[in-house]
Amino acid sequence: MVALHRAAYLLYAEPLVDARRGGVLVVGPHQPYLDYVADVLPSLGEEGVQLTTLRDLVPEGARAGVETDPEVARLKGSAELVRAVETGIRFYEEPPTRGRTVSTPWADVRLTAGDWADAFAAPEPGTPHNDGRDEVWDALVAILVDKHDDEAPPEQVRRTLEQDAELRDALGEAWPLLDAADVVGDLWSVPAYLRLCAPWLSSDEVRALQRREPQAWTTADLPFLDAARQRLGDPAASRRRRRERAEADAAAARMDDVVADLIETDGSEMQVMGMLRGSDLRDALGVTESAPRVDADRLAGPFAHVVVDEAQELTDAEWQLLLARCPSRSLTIVGDRAQARHGFTQTWQDRLAGAGISGARVAGLGINYRTPSEVMAEAEPVIRAAIPDANVPTSVRSSGLPVVRGSVGDLDDVLDGWLAAHDGVACVVSLAPDDARRFSREPDRQRVRWLDPVTAKGLEFDLVVLVDSEGFGAGEGAVTAAVDRYVTMTRATQQLVVLEP
């Protein structure tokens, strides 16, 4: 709720954050959270906010699996490795070092290595790779047109060069159109390419990052796909522009023939047709040029402000997705170190500085308005055992309902009894995957949600039933288990029931 109130406040109080200046992007941890937010924000008086998860920011996110290899997840969580995508794309922007002869009906002209270098320097810094290819082509054609003598008609020379398949192929080899999925897939399937892009990786790390299916995407790949797409631009857009230009050139050539024919066959005494310039006659015949309009991705940004909830889980690499959409670095970051499933030992300032966000101001929340004191009394020891310095806020209200403990076999009785006596919403959260699958097959009860600890994050329910599991969280998973229990327990706004084997 803190993140939502912050978004509503900014839209009301900060004139530079309205929709005309980019608006606000709210990033949540999962789809159930977005569904909840979509209901809450209108009640706060704000409907002009874009809502998303990290998965939604990348087209491949919908079908991306979870990265199960901890070492691969660690490596791909690095912002430095994400920046290696830039090196990989620059590899495809090196000008040829050998010249070639280009023939037209008017002359044979030499395209030197220096000419290639000049053409490759044409795109301004920051130009997407696939857009830059069009600029390189235009520069190449201009260089070749200038090398013809004055008797060669420049426009006709240009049209002839535009249709030169060999020259097109030469540019395609030197500066190819690239697709983000292909570039990132090559990183995970061509060891030499990954070593070129990230020379600091050890041989073992390069080997760990390789996989049999290059495009078997996981959530850890999404920052790389986004970085590649941001840097490349849309290859289809370049193809469309080239096709439209070819069609326009063909139409212009046909019109030139029409105009020439009209002038040649003009039998009027004043030779009216000959008095008109070709461009004037072309305009009179209704030939105009127009550029196609492409709707921008509504989540591409830039946004005036970005609100990130459950931010304690984001890797340095994932932060790059968000920073790419917020050049101003105007961010509200809401997170709890005690709810970080993979540990969080740094201060927030150090953590964010490592992700590229400097000068963060931290405001701690010491009061808990949501969770009753009866629940917090049970939840605090759970998280303190794993994270002694966790920030545990003080509850300011009591529900008068004690935490109830029982066995897993009591689940049906607990739910039926509570639903009969209350009008609110209950949630069953299982700590064991097998339990989650089993409970999901139980007959649906109205007003009952069945979630795992990760999907429960950011949500709140009147009743929470925590289904514990024997041995869950032993050994290396102790911190994650403690976080999952703590998160689940603190979703309750009225009562908590803990069911154990």
Measured CA distances, 35 to 40, 73, 230 (Å): 9, 28, 28
The dihedrals phi and psi of 269, each to the nearest 5 degrees, come to: -65, -35
Least confidently predicted of 128-142, 259-273, 422-436, 447-461: 259-273
Mean pLDDT, residues 84-110 taken together? 95
Q: Do domains 2-53+298-364 and 373-500 have the same CATH topology?
A: yes
Closest CA to 466 of 495, 486, 489, 449: 489
pLDDT at 291: 42
pLDDT at 34: 83
Element (H, E) at 399: none
Q: Which one of 3.40.1280.10, 3.40.50.10490, 3.40.50.300, 3.90.550.10 gives the CATH number of domain 373-500? A: 3.40.50.300
**Is residue 268 over pLDDT 70?**
no
Tell me the C-alpha distance between 243 and 252, whole Å: 14
Q: How confident is the model at residue 446 (pLDDT cuts 50, 70, 90)?
A: confident
CATH architecture of 2-53+298-364: 3-Layer(aba) Sandwich (3.40)
pLDDT at 434: 54
pLDDT at 237: 63
Tell me the C-alpha distance between 272 and 436, whole Å: 85
Contact 249, 162 (CB under 8 A): yes
Least confidently predicted of 77-81, 136-140, 162-166, 234-238: 234-238
Half-sphere exposure of 492 (CA within 13 A, CB side): 30
pTM for this entry: 0.80
Q: How confident is the model at residue 19 (pLDDT cuts 50, 70, 90)?
A: low
Tell me the C-alpha distance between 357 and 331, whole Å: 9
**Is residue 47 over pLDDT 60?**
no
Q: Which residue has the higher pLDDT, 415 or 42?
A: 415
Mean pLDDT, residues 317-335 taken together? 91
Beta strands in 303-455 (DSSP E): 305-308, 331-333, 367-368, 394-395, 404-407, 426-430, 448-451
What confidence tens digit (pLDDT) does each residue in 459-496 have? 999 999 999 875 555 445 788 889 999 999 999 999 99
C-alpha dihedral (464, 465, 470, 474), degrees to nearest 10: -10
Tell me the C-alpha distance between 255 and 159, whole Å: 14
Q: How confident is the model at residue 41 (pLDDT cuts 50, 70, 90)?
A: low
Contact 181, 225 (CB under 8 A): yes
What confidence tens digit (pLDDT) does each residue in 349-368 have? 988 988 888 888 888 888 88
What is the per-residue DSSP string for 6-70? HHHHHHHH-GGGSGGGT-EEEEESSHHHHHHHHHHHHHTT----EEEETGGGSGGGGG-B----H
Tell me the C-alpha distance between 48 and 8, whole Å: 10
What is the per-residue DSSP string for 275-344? HS-HHHHHHHTT----PPP-PPPTTS---SEEEESSGGG--HHHHHHHHTT-TT--EEE---GGG-TT--
C-alpha dihedral (209, 213, 218, 222), degrees to nearest 10: 80
Mean pLDDT, residues 286-303 taken together? 59
pLDDT at 298: 79
Least confidently predicted of 110-119, 134-143, 186-195, 406-415: 406-415
Mean pLDDT, residues 282-298 taken together? 50
Least confidently predicted of 74-83, 370-379, 471-480: 471-480
Mean pLDDT, residues 19-23 taken together? 64
Query: Residue ranges per domain, the chain?
Result: 2-53+298-364, 62-233, 373-500
Largest CA distance in the chain: 108
Tell me the C-alpha distance between 223 and 444, whole Å: 37
Helices (H), 121-271: 129-146, 154-162, 165-174, 180-187, 191-197, 203-209, 222-232, 235-264
Give, rounded to a whole angstrom, the gap between the first and last alpha carbons of the chain: 34
Residue 56, token pair as written in the block: 């939604």
3-class SS of residue 380: helix
3-class SS of residue 385: helix
Tell me the C-alpha distance between 473 and 480, whole Å: 7
